[in-house]
A and B are shown apart, each in its own frame.
Chain A
Amino acid sequence: MIRLDHITKVFNQGTADEKVAIDDLSLHIPSGDFVTVIGSNGAGKTTLLNLISGTYFPDNGAITIDGTDVTRIPEHKRAKYIGRVFQDPLIGTAASMSIEENLAMAEKRGQKRGLRWGVTKAKRERYREVLKRLELGLEDRLRDPVGLLSGGQRQTLTLLMVTLSIPKVLLLDEHTAALDPKTAHKVLQLSREMIENYRLTTIMVTHNMQQAIEYGNRMIMLHEGRVRFDVTGERKRNLTVDALVKSFGAVLKDETLLTAAQ
C-alpha cells in the first residue's frame, strides 16, 4: 500500500542549521498493516508522515501509495488516499467553523467542491447520529463553533471526521499525547475500532512503548532518520517494554519513553 524507496529529507540544506531528518529510508507497508512507530524526539517520525502525506517533498527517493507514484504530487491531491490526525488537537479542525461544517468538509475529503449547499438537512441528521455514538453530548451542539470544544473533544471529532470518508491510509501522529489519560484511552480505543472495522492501513506514531507493543501488527523504531528496528507478527507480540529498553535504552535516551517504560 505504501512504499518508500531510499527517501532522504534534509531541512535547511546548505546552512548552519542543516538537518538530515530522514536518511535514505526504505519501507514497504502492505495493505492492511497497522504499524506503530516509536523513536526519540527528533528521530524523524513526524517528518516521515509529512513526506507520506505530501506536506513536504523528499530530496531524494520515491513514494508510492496504492500503486501510484505520488512523489511529486501535492498534499491536497493525495488527500483522497489519506486520513490524518495530528498531535496538536487544534490542527485537525477549523475552530471558527461549526461542528457540522467541519464534518461536512471532512466528508468531502479529496472530492471536488462546488457550489452545492455545504450542510444539508440530511447530512445534519446523519451527523447527529454518528455524534451520539461518541457520547460526548456533541449531537446537541452541531452549530457550535469547534473552538468552544476541549482538546479531547476536538481530537475525537477529528477521528470521527476521518471515518466520514474512509481513506486508504491512516496517519496518526502521537494523536493522544496532548490528552488527559482518560480521554487518551477513549480516543485510542476509537482509533483501534476504526482501524479494525475498515481494515485501514495505518501508521501510528506514539511516545508510549507499551502502546506501540500492544497495538498493531508491526512496530518500527526510527532513529536519526533511519529504521533502526522493525518487528512483526509473533516476535512483536512477544516483545516487552523491558526487553526494548534493554536493547535500545542507549538509543532511546528520550525521557518520556523511559518513564513510560517504568
Chain B
Amino acid sequence: MASILRILPISFEQGLVYSLVAIGIVISFRILAFPDLTVDGSFPLGAAVAAKVIISGYAPIWGIVLAVAAGFCAGYATGFLNTRLKINSLLAGILIMTILYSVNLRIMGRSNIQLLTYHTLFTPMESLKISRFYLVIPFFFIVAYGLKILLDLFLHTDMGMAMRATGDNEQMIRSLGVNTDRMTLLGLGISNAFIALSGALVAQDQGFADVGMGIGTIVAGLAAIIIGETLVRAKTVRAFTLAAIVGSIVYKMIIAIGLRLGLAPTDLKMATGFMVILALGLPVLKKEKEGKLHLRGI
C-alpha cells in the first residue's frame, strides 16, 4: 500500500503532462467530431523538435515554441488532406502519422536523443533541490489548467462557437456563413499543437526523445477522456476539457497501480486498448442508443 502511495505523485505528474494530449483529442474527436489519428505522429514530433533544438544549443523555450508550431502544421496537414483533397478523415490522419515517422527521424537524425546532460526547461527547477512535488507538478498543473481555461474561453468566442458548430452541424453553420473547412483546419492545428506541446514537455521531463514514443498515444488519450467523462459526467465544453485532465490523471494512476499489481509493462497497450473497447462496446451491448464517441467521416 505504501509503495502505491509513493507512485501516486509520479502518476499525477505524468497525468498532467499527458492531459494536454487528452485535451487535444477532445478538440478533434469531441469538438470537431473528427477522428484524428495524427496524434501518434504529432506527439513524438513535438518531442523530436524540442530535443533537436536543445541539443543544438538553443534555449529550451524555443524548443517548446517550435514544437507547438510543428504540431499545428501536422494537424493542418491532416485537415488539408481531408477538406481539400477529400481523403477520408481516418486515412488522412494515418497518412500524416506515417509520414511523420520519417520526418521525426530526419529531425532527430537518429532514432533516439538523450537530454539528461543538457539544459532543459526543468534543469533550473531541479537544481533548486526542492521536491518535484512543489515545483514541477505545480508547473505542469498551471500549464495544463491554464491552457484548458484559454481553450474554454476560445470556444465561447464567435469563432470558437463556429468551430463547435462545425463538429455539431456542418450544414447549419455553413448556411450561416462559416467556412467549415477552415474551421476544421484550424481546429486540427490547435489540437495537434496541444499534443506536440505535450511531447516536447515529456521529452524534457523524462530526459529523452524516441521515435517510437508516440505509439499508442491516441488510444491512451481516448482511454483518458472516456474515464474523465464518466467521472465528470461531462456535458458542457468546460466539463469536457476538465474531464480530459481528470481522466488523464486517473488513467495514469490506474496504469501505475496495475503495474504494481503485476501487469507486465509489455501488456500495457493491450490493457489500454481493451479498456477503450470495453467503454465503447458496453453501451452498445447494453443496447443504449448511441456509442460513447460520435465520429465524423466513418
Contacts and interface: CB of A to CB of B under 8 A. Distances in A.
Nearest to A161: B176
Interface in A117-166: 117-119, 145
A76 to B, nearest CB: 5
Nearest to B179: A76
Contact of A97 (B161, B171, B174, B180): B161
A113 B159 contact: yes
Nearest to A78: B177
B154 A115 contact: yes
B173 A94 contact: yes
A61 interface: no
B156 interface: yes
Interface stretch (B39-47, B100-108, B162-170): B162-170
Contact of B159 (A106, A114, A119): A114
Contacts of B162: 105, 113
Contacts of B235: 145
A28 interface: no
B160 interface: yes
A105 B161 contact: yes
A53 interface: yes
A212 to B, nearest CB: 24
Interface stretch (A62-70, A79-87, A224-232): A79-87
Nearest to B176: A109
B157 A93 contact: no
B295 to A, nearest CB: 15
A113 B161 CA distance: 9
A101 B175 contact: no
Nearest to A79: B177
Nearest to B182: A76
B177 A94 contact: no
B158 interface: yes
A197 B172 CA distance: 25
Contacts of A117: 156-157
B178 interface: yes
Nearest to B177: A79
A244 interface: no
B168 A97 contact: yes
Nearest to B154: A115
A53 B171 CA distance: 11
A116 B154 CA distance: 9
Nearest to A119: B156
B177 A80 contact: yes
A95 B169 contact: yes
B242 to A, nearest CB: 17
Contact of A76 (B159, B165, B174): B174
B169 A94 contact: yes
B175 A75 contact: yes
Contacts of B160: 118
- Which residue, of A53, A76, A113, has the highest number of chain B Cβ atoms within 10 A? A113
Contacts of B158: 104-105, 108, 113-116, 118
15 contacts: A53-B175, A79-B177, A86-B171, A91-B169, A91-B172, A95-B169, A96-B168, A97-B165, A105-B165, A105-B173, A109-B177, A110-B176, A113-B158, A114-B159, A118-B157
Interface of B: 154, 156-162, 164-165, 168-169, 171-180, 235
- 8 nearest interchain CB pairs? A79-B177, A113-B158, A110-B177, A94-B168, A94-B169, A94-B165, A109-B176, A118-B161
